[in-house]
A and B are shown apart, each in its own frame.
Chain A
Amino acid sequence: MTTIETPAAFQKPIIEARKVNKHFGAFHALKDVSATFHEGQVTAIVGPSGSGKSTFLRTLNRLEAHDSGEIVVDGIELNSDLKNLDAIRREVGMVFQSFNLFSHLTILRNVTLAPMRVRKMGRADAESKALNLLERVGLRNQADKYPVQLSGGQQQRVAIARALAMDPKVLLFDEPTSALDPEMVNEVLSVMRELAYSGITMLVVTHEMGFAREVADRIIFFDEGIMLEDATPEAFFSNPDHDRAKAFLSQVRHGY
């Protein structure tokens, strides 16, 4: 496995996974996955469907509980202790493939809900913060609409604003553009690009190889539940170590 040099800016580890395993019944979804993610780092996680990349991401905020191994987020161990879990979920934001905006709430209420409930922020403060974030993703004028009235790309940008409203230390993206019509992919990617350059720690499960190559500091390649490659974009895209990665790249090469 190619180890990447950690630039000085990325010294502080924010997520540490050690020998993480996960089974779904007889299916071994994650096999001894170990990785350390540093503050400010943008990591793209790629691989074929069913390779465990989304499962790995979802274990990091315990939407899937891992069977064995150890996950430490911001110094707190992720286990069945609800106190730890609540503390970690406050610091880790997530953006889903299918957006998952709260369908019964307006766009504004979608963004203010968690800061008001979890951070106990006042309504006025939460709303002004939410409007600023909606401005940042270019949707301030949609604040009073309901999710169903927005396009997929707009909904995903709201979902990003909603995650940012909690001031997370890490943002997890689970195939954020896979459910979008092609013409809406770019509006979401450009918001993510802007975020990446702003210095927030990001883990992005994606099939957008062009985006991964351009924006990520690090590429992780999953195959059959194993973390097969962990490399810089240059190394991964020009000369991957494993044949599986070479085959995968030749399959998706038209994408970048």
Chain B
Amino acid sequence: MNWTKQNPGLAMFAAMIGLLVFLWGLAVPLSAAPAPIGPAAGQFVEGTRVTVWLTLIAGSAGVMIGIVAGLGKLSRFWPLRWVCDTYVWLMRGTPLLLQILFVWLVAPTIMPEGIDLSDFACAAIALSLNVGAYNTECVRAGIMAVPNGQIEAAHALGLTSMQTFLDVILPQSMRVALPALANNLASLVKDSSLAYAISVVELTMVGYRVQSESYQPVPVFITIAAIYLILTTAFTTLTAALEARLNVGQKR
């Protein structure tokens, strides 16, 4: 981790390249493995890709949602505050599995004619909304941690509220919010496995299928656990490097 902190740019680059190489080259060691892993290598690779896509899409959308709803919770306009409070209350207070099923069952009935949401899209929407609610609280904490003097200084210099937010409040709040956001991202990698409930063929679903065909659950689940571990390591290296990059000008 020290190396990550000293070379954040390099670490981010390495983590991203590592992730790509992993996704692209995973088939090679897996197909060389003995049964039941080897014959199913293609399925494992496909499942891993789906898991990574779900995480990246829901992770990015979740950060956007978190920033918007976090700001909304701090708004002076009470209806907006109420909407954001209710959203966080609902998403944190109900099981993620239920949310995924709910989106999958309800989305087709409210979508306009001709737009067909895939199972993958339903899972991505439910995961985004769920992680967004947790991110909301992290972003809110980050924004509240920005000293008032920083905002006064920006206003006194003539910066508009929007400029003050983008140039001063957001970068400073992200320094505080990032460790918690990274935590949520690491959870998301694993939470994405619940998408199996609506038959999205992600990594855990692949595991179920392979073990039920081969009747050898232990090696299958060890393989899956190893892949998850490698994925979370890549994501946390990425966020730790980002943290180090944002952490300039701080007292230690």
B107 contacts A by Cβ under 8 Å: no
A227 within 8 A of B: no
B10 at the interface (CB under 8 A from A): no
Q: Which residue of A lies closest to B157 (CB)?
A: A114
Which applies to chain B's interface (DSSP): helix, strand, loop or mixed?
A: helix
Within 8 A of B (CB), among A114-148: 114, 117-118, 146-148
Q: Indicate if the CB atoms of B150 and A100 lie closer than 8 Å.
A: yes
* Residues from chain B with Cβ under 8 Å of A147 in the complex: 249
Closest residue on chain A to residue B149 by CB atoms: A100
Q: Mark A144-166 against chain B: 1 for CB-CB distance below 8 A, else 0.
A: 00111100000000010011001
**Tier of interface size on chain B:** 20 to 34
Give A43-58 interface residues, CB cut-off 8 Å to B.
none
**Complex partner residue of B155 from A89, A101, A105, A113, CB under 8 angstroms:** A89
Are B248 and A101 in contact, CB atoms less than 8 angstroms apart?
no
**A96-B152, A117-B167, A147-B249 are contacts. A103–B157 as well, Cβ < 8 Å?**
no
Pair A114/B158 contact, Cβ less than 8 Å:
yes
Cβ-based interface call for B2 (8 A): no
Residue contact B157 to A104, C-beta cutoff 8 Å: no
| Known A105-B249, A117-B167: A166·B157 in contact at CB below 8 Å | yes
Q: Give the number of chain A interface residues (Cβ < 8 Å).
A: 29
Complex CA gap A118/B163 in Å reads: 9
Closest chain-A Cβ to B146's Cβ sits at a distance in Å of 9
Q: Check B156 against A93 for contact (C-beta < 8 Å).
A: yes
Given contacts A98-B149, A104-B172, A104-B248, contact A89 B156 (CB under 8 A): yes
Tell whether A169 is near chain B: CB-to-CB under 8 Å: no
Contact of A146 among B152, B168, B171, B248 (CB under 8 A): B248
Shortest distance between the CB of B235 and any CB in chain A (Å): 24
Contact with B along A82-93 (1 / 0, CB 8 A): 000010011011
The 3 tightest CB contacts between A and B, nearest first, are A146-B249, A100-B153, A114-B157
